[in-house]
């Protein structure tokens, strides 16, 4: 059998592919990133790209050494039997913050808004919407702790999914307070779970010491049963005055802008560098456990990465999950631009002229040609299969006169047009089809 792609990866296929679905359509991926580009760049976000592999240490500090991602899901990068301590990036934030610090972007006026998109890698067990290579659109703002920045980030995330036509999305908003608030909360959790250590999963026994908040995130059923039984109070009850005021300000902006959200006290982010605002974007058809995306404020991250203290906030959504949600809602892509001209030679000797006519038009138009001589019927069928607006035929008479026999595929009308006038005809038809 021919070789196959690695587990947990997908090929993004062109239109017309026999096995095409929206979530593996190359054009759909581009539609999502183009839409994101439009929304985010209108808000002043600058596009940035960082490497697909980074130092393992960066990812460890950025994502957290105790997370499943770092402990179980990292792809190491090997070369010539050795590895230089690099891993494929599992998410975008750490690399973007590193790039911001490393390239002196801090000298630019703050807040500095960045966005990117690209593949991310996690060795997870494959399911629908859970891949080993998946794609994210990522927005990050560095250099400001203003709640207005948080609200704008959430607004932009909602704008992107709305621009894609999605309706069934829900923003779940929470706050995880400041580090001292989390210390108080962790002390509370230690007391609460400490009395039932024997019922915790092994992972959570470990978390009880290091980071009890992460128990709330546990996937283990025994942990979740205990959590439900103990009626654990949410982090939101433990916000200090400053974090409380910040949270109220974010909600105030969202209310004023009519962004729908629900306050979700169960949102937790276990890592020390997270501060205050945290949210998830959910969709009715994706399932409660898997979000379309998420975001949060990470004021402590730059310092954690060895840089100077720089507040930051960002979000990412998974493009595959967005496309699955679009498919579930019955949304389709906008029509692809119509191919304008297909040029066919009626005999082999005129194929080069057909090619040249097409090539010269390409600076302004979609134009392709047949590589072999074709009978008129076949040429028209080929033009129709491609959805071309016009088919041009070139035989001996046309070649001698410097013309083509041009058929308008929607009216069926055929006329002789000078090669030099083709651009004008195609241009006029593009204008009239737009009006
Ligand atoms: P995270 O960085 O874990 O907060 O993930 C942000 C978003 O990326 C999620 O909400 C998903 O939409 C997407 N995502 C994360 N992991 C995967 C994966 N293994 N496969 C597909 N999408 C993913």
- 351 and 316, same structural domain? no
Asked whether the beta carbons of 432 and 389 are under 8 A apart, the reply is no
Question: pLDDT of 385-427, one tens digit each?
Answer: 999 999 999 999 999 999 999 999 999 999 999 999 999 999 8
Q: What is the arithmetic mean of pLDDT over 126-140?
A: 95
The number of beta carbons lying within 10 Å of the beta carbon of residue 224 is 14
Ligand 1 atom 12 nearest Cα: 318
Question: pLDDT of 245-264, one tens digit each?
Answer: 999 999 999 999 999 999 99
Structural domain ending residue among the three candidates 277, 295, 328: 328
Q: What is the arithmetic mean of pLDDT over 350-375?
A: 96
Residue 269 or residue 360, greater confidence? 360
Q: What is the arithmetic mean of pLDDT over 143-171?
A: 96
CA distance 326 to 289: 18
Alpha carbon of residue 101 to chain centroid: 23
Give the model's confidence band at 431: pLDDT under 50 very low, under 70 low, under 90 confident, else very high: low
Does the beta carbon of 36 lie inside 6 Å of ligand 1?
A: no
- 30 and 93, same structural domain? yes
- 405 and 313, same structural domain? no
DSSP 264: -
Does the beta carbon of 169 lie inside 6 Å of ligand 1?
A: no
Does the beta carbon of 154 lie inside 6 Å of ligand 1?
A: no
Domain count, the chain: 2
- 407 and 278, same structural domain? no
For a mutational test of ligand 1's pocket, the pick from 280, 291, 324, i.e. the residue with the most ligand atoms closer than 8 A to its C-beta, is 291
- 96 and 44, same structural domain? yes
Per 3-state DSSP, what percentage of the chain is helix, strand, and coil (rounded to 5)? 45, 20, 35
Q: What kind and span of H or E run contains 189? A: helix 179-194
Check whether 353 has a pLDDT greater than 50. Answer: yes
Residue 396: its pLDDT value, please? Answer: 96
Q: What is the arithmetic mean of pLDDT over 169-185?
A: 93
Compute, in angstroms, the gap from residue 63 CA to the centroid of ligand 1. 13
Q: What is the arithmetic mean of pLDDT over 283-308?
A: 87
Q: pTM for the full model? A: 0.91
The atom of ligand 1 lying closest to the CA of 322 is 12
Ligand 1 atom 9 nearest Cα: 293
- 78 and 57, same structural domain? yes
Range of the domain at 130: 22-177+239-328
Asked whether residue 212 is assigned to any structural domain, the reply reads: no
Residue 163 or residue 16, greater confidence? 163
Q: What is the CATH number of the domain that holds 115?
A: 3.30.930.10
Asked whether residue 156 is assigned to any structural domain, the reply reads: yes
Average pLDDT of the chain is 92
Residue 433: its pLDDT value, please? Answer: 62
The atom of ligand 1 lying closest to the CA of 321 is 12
Asked whether residue 187 is assigned to any structural domain, the reply reads: no
Asked whether the beta carbons of 156 and 90 are under 8 A apart, the reply is no
Q: What is the CATH number of the domain that holds 386?
A: 3.40.50.800
Give the model's confidence band at 435: pLDDT under 50 very low, under 70 low, under 90 confident, else very high: very low
Tell which residue, 49, 257, 54, 39, has the closest CA to residue 157.
Answer: 39
Q: What is the arithmetic mean of pLDDT over 169-197?
A: 92
Structural domain ending residue among the three candidates 328, 355, 376: 328
Question: pLDDT of 300-309, one tens digit each?
Answer: 899 999 999 9
- 367 and 285, same structural domain? no
Does the beta carbon of 321 lie inside 6 Å of ligand 1?
A: yes
Check whether 363 has a pLDDT greater than 60. Answer: yes
Compute, in angstroms, the gap from residue 131 CA to the centroid of ligand 1. 9
The atom of ligand 1 lying closest to the CA of 130 is 20
- 140 and 71, same structural domain? yes
Asked whether the beta carbons of 397 and 353 are under 8 A apart, the reply is no
**Could you give the percent of the chain with pLDDT greater than 70?**
97
Asked whether residue 163 is assigned to any structural domain, the reply reads: yes
Give the phi and the psi of residue 88 in degrees, each rounded to 5. Answer: -70, 135
CA distance 411 to 391: 12
Strand, helix or coil at 91?
A: coil
Check whether 84 has a pLDDT greater than 90. Answer: no
- 371 and 321, same structural domain? no
- 414 and 308, same structural domain? no
Residue 67: its pLDDT value, please? Answer: 80
Structural domain ending residue among the three candidates 328, 361, 385: 328
For a mutational test of ligand 1's pocket, the pick from 294, 296, 314, i.e. the residue with the most ligand atoms closer than 8 A to its C-beta, is 294
Give the model's confidence band at 269: pLDDT under 50 very low, under 70 low, under 90 confident, else very high: confident
- 117 and 33, same structural domain? yes
Does the beta carbon of 217 lie inside 6 Å of ligand 1?
A: no
- 258 and 150, same structural domain? yes
Give the model's confidence band at 214: pLDDT under 50 very low, under 70 low, under 90 confident, else very high: confident
Between helix 26-42 and helix 319-328 the angle, nearest 10°, is 110
Does the beta carbon of 93 lie inside 6 Å of ligand 1?
A: no
Q: Looking up tokens 């999950």, which residue turns up?
A: 321
Tell which residue, 326, 327, 400, has the closest CA to residue 163.
Answer: 326
Give the model's confidence band at 82: pLDDT under 50 very low, under 70 low, under 90 confident, else very high: confident
Does the beta carbon of 223 lie inside 6 Å of ligand 1?
A: no
Q: Is 59 exposed, middle or buried (0-12, 13-18, 19+ CB in 10 A)?
A: buried
Residue 109 or residue 429, greater confidence? 109
Total residues found in the chain within this entry: 435
Residue 315 or residue 194, greater confidence? 315
409: Cβ contacts below 8 Å, ≥ 6 apart: 380, 383, 384, 388, 389, 390, 391
DSSP track, 358-397: HHHHTTTS-EEE-SS---HHHHHHHHHHTT-SEEEEE-HH
Asked whether residue 280 is assigned to any structural domain, the reply reads: yes
CA distance 322 to 129: 9
Asked whether residue 221 is assigned to any structural domain, the reply reads: no
Q: What is the arithmetic mean of pLDDT over 112-138?
A: 95
């Amino acid at each position: 059998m021919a070789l196959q792609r690695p587990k947990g990866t997908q090929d993004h296929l062109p239109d017309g592919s026999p096995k095409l679905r929206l979530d593996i359509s190359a054009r759909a991926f581009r539609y999502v990133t183009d839409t994101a580009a439009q929304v985010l760049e209108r808000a002043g976000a600058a596009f940035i790209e960082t490497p697909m592999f980074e130092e393992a240490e960066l990812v460890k500090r950025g994502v957290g050494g105790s997370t499943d991602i770092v402990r179980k899901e990292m792809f190491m990068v090997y070369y010539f039997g050795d590895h230089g301590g690099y891993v494929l990036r599992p998410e975008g934030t750490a690399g973007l913050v590193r790039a911001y610090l490393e390239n002196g972007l801090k000298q630019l006026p703050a807040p500095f808004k960045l966005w990117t998109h690209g593949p991310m890698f996690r060795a997870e067990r494959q399911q629908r919407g859970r891949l080993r290579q998946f794609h994210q659109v990522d927005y990050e703002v560095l250099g400001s702790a203003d709640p207005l920045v948080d609200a704008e980030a959430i607004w932009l995330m909602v704008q992107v999914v709305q621009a894609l036509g999605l309706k069934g999305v829900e923003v779940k908003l929470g706050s995880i307070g400041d580090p001292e608030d989390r210390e108080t909360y962790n002390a509370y959790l230690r007391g609460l779970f400490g009395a039932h250590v024997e019922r915790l999963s092994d992972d959570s026994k470990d978390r009880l010491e290091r980071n009890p908040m992460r128990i709330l995130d546990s996937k283990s059923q025994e942990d979740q049963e205990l959590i439900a039984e103990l009626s654990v109070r949410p982090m939101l009850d433990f916000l200090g005055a400053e974090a409380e005021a910040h949270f109220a300000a974010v909600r105030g902006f969202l209310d004023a802008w009519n962004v729908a959200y629900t306050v979700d006290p169960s949102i937790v982010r276990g890592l020390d560098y997270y501060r205050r605002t945290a949210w998830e974007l959910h969709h009715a058809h994706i399932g409660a456990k898997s979000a379309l995306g998420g975001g949060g404020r990470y004021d402590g991250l730059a310092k954690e990465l060895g840089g100077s203290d720089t507040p930051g906030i960002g979000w990412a959504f998974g493009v595959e999950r967005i496309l699955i949600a679009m498919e579930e809602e019955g949304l389709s892509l906008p029509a692809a631009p119509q191919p304008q001209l297909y040029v066919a030679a009626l005999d082999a000797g005129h194929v080069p002229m057909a090619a040249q006519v097409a090539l010269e038009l390409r600076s302004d138009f979609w134009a392709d040609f047949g590589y072999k001589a074709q009978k008129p019927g076949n040429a028209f069928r080929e033009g129709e299969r491609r959805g071309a607006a016009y088919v041009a035929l070139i035989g001996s008479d046309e070649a001698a006169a410097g013309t083509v026999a041009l058929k308008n595929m929607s009216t069926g009308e055929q006329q002789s047009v000078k090669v030099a006038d083709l651009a004008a005809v195609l241009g006029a038809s593009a204008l009239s089809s737009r009006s």
